[in-house]
Amino acid sequence: MIIPRQNRHKRNHRPRFRPIQTVTFSLLPVRTAVNFFRSKNIHFLTPEPENRACRLQHRLFLTLILKTTACKTMLYDYPQYYEAAFSFRDVAWEADFLKQVIDRHAVVPVRTVLEIACGHAPHAGELSRLGYRYVGLDKNPHMLAYAREKWRELNPPPEFIQGDMVSFELPTKVQFAYVMLGSLYLNTDEEMQSHFAAMARCLEPGGLYFLDWCVQFTEPLTRQLSNSVELNRDGINIKSEFNTRLIDAARQLYEEIWTVHVNDHGQEKTLRTVERNRAIFPQEFLLFVKTQTDFRFVGWWEDWDLNRPIKGSAAPTRPLVLLRRK
Ligand SMILES: C[S@@+](CC[C@H](N)C(=O)[O-])C[C@H]1O[C@@H](n2cnc3c(N)ncnc32)[C@H](O)[C@@H]1O
């Protein structure tokens, strides 16, 4: 996932950028849980070392606390805040743009569109208005429950499927698929192969796969991206901070760390999402598509403009890539 610094079509939106610090607070929920148990006189953090049962209980408690607190701080578990954090996007414009891609490049009639990593399915309403049936795939049940509720009256009715993009099956084939905001969470060559095999299975021959910000023309391994955005929506104040961190240079692995401070009518929360990603560079991607997938490369463009193919020395701010199922 990448937080857009600005949308080309929304030039007046200029988030503030500043270096950020991303540490300490993630331990806060653990501390809170420990304090809670202490207040109940449960001192499991000082086990009797010679007592095996006590040591086991201690380990169990710690695991439980770390797991529950880690889950609770995930932004994706609070879709309403995720939606608020991205409310500056012009979703209608983006949906119209997807239609433009279809109109220009589809060679088969497009009836159903699939969004990979759909989250709360921001485009479902607009795509439906444009005449497409919407299918969303995501692995987070909270996001999917929120999307189902939000779009429950849509016609044609959307379909939401819980699954992992690395490998999944769809009940029926689609003619257009897309992934937004660089949400292609694949960590290894094997996961890439598996994902594109799943995409090939679910797309009709001639169908299109559109990838927003998923190929890294300006590489994230040495460059520390960071930005922060603050906005208000329906009385909710959201401060987002985004950063990247190199994990393994040889494996092209980096982490995206996204921290959101929420003030919801006086109730404060800090939510954090960390996604591990393998950088995909342009020429390796072309070679990969050509030799290891059932797709053909159609083109790449910059900054939401189909009249601007990526070329020359200027680094694209928001690369878009289009593939066609053979
Ligand atoms: C940045 S959000 C994008 C949501 C939406 N597409 C949008 O444009 O706002 C990324 C989404 O990817 C989902 N996700 C992360 N890893 C995934 C995986 N391996 N398979 C399916 N979904 C995944 C998360 O649950 C989250 O909803």
Report all structural domains of the chain as residue ranges with CATH numbers, in order of start. 26-72 (no CATH), 77-83+218-278 (2.20.25), 89-216+280-325 (3.40.50.150)
pLDDT per position as a tens digit, 151-186: 999 999 999 999 999 999 999 999 999 999 999 999
* DSSP one-letter string for 41-55: T--TTS--TT-HHHH
Distances (CA, A) of 313 to 103, 212, 281, 285, 316: 29, 20, 16, 19, 9
Closest CA to 15 of 266, 234, 225: 225
Closest CA to 72 of 104, 111, 26: 26
Closest CA to 229 of 22, 6, 1: 6
- Three-class SS of residue 317? coil
| Amino acid 224: pLDDT | 64
- Is the Cα dihedral 288, 292, 297, 302 positive or negative? negative
Name the helix (H) or strand (E) containing 166: none
pLDDT per position as a tens digit, 90-146: 999 999 999 999 999 999 999 999 999 999 999 999 999 999 999 999 999 999 999
Which alpha helices (DSSP H) does 107-235 contain, by range?
A: 124-129, 141-150, 189-202
Burial class of residue 119 (count of CB atoms within 10 Å of its CB; 0-12, 13-18, 19+) = buried
Alpha-carbon gap, residue 57 to 195, rounded angstroms:
40
Q: Residue whose CA is closest, atom 11 of ligand 1?
A: 117
Is 143 close to ligand 1, i.e. is its CB under 6 Å away? Answer: yes
| Amino acid 11: pLDDT | 36
For the chain, list residues with pLDDT below 50. 6-31, 33-34, 37, 40-47, 62-72
Q: Residue whose CA is closest, atom 2 of ligand 1?
A: 119
Is 176 close to ligand 1, i.e. is its CB under 6 Å away? Answer: no
Centroid of ligand 1 to alpha carbon of 177 (angstroms): 14
Closest CA to 178 of 227, 105, 252: 105
User: Among 140, 170, 188, 304, which residue has the most ligand 1 atoms within 8 Å of its CB, making it the best to mutate?
Assistant: 140
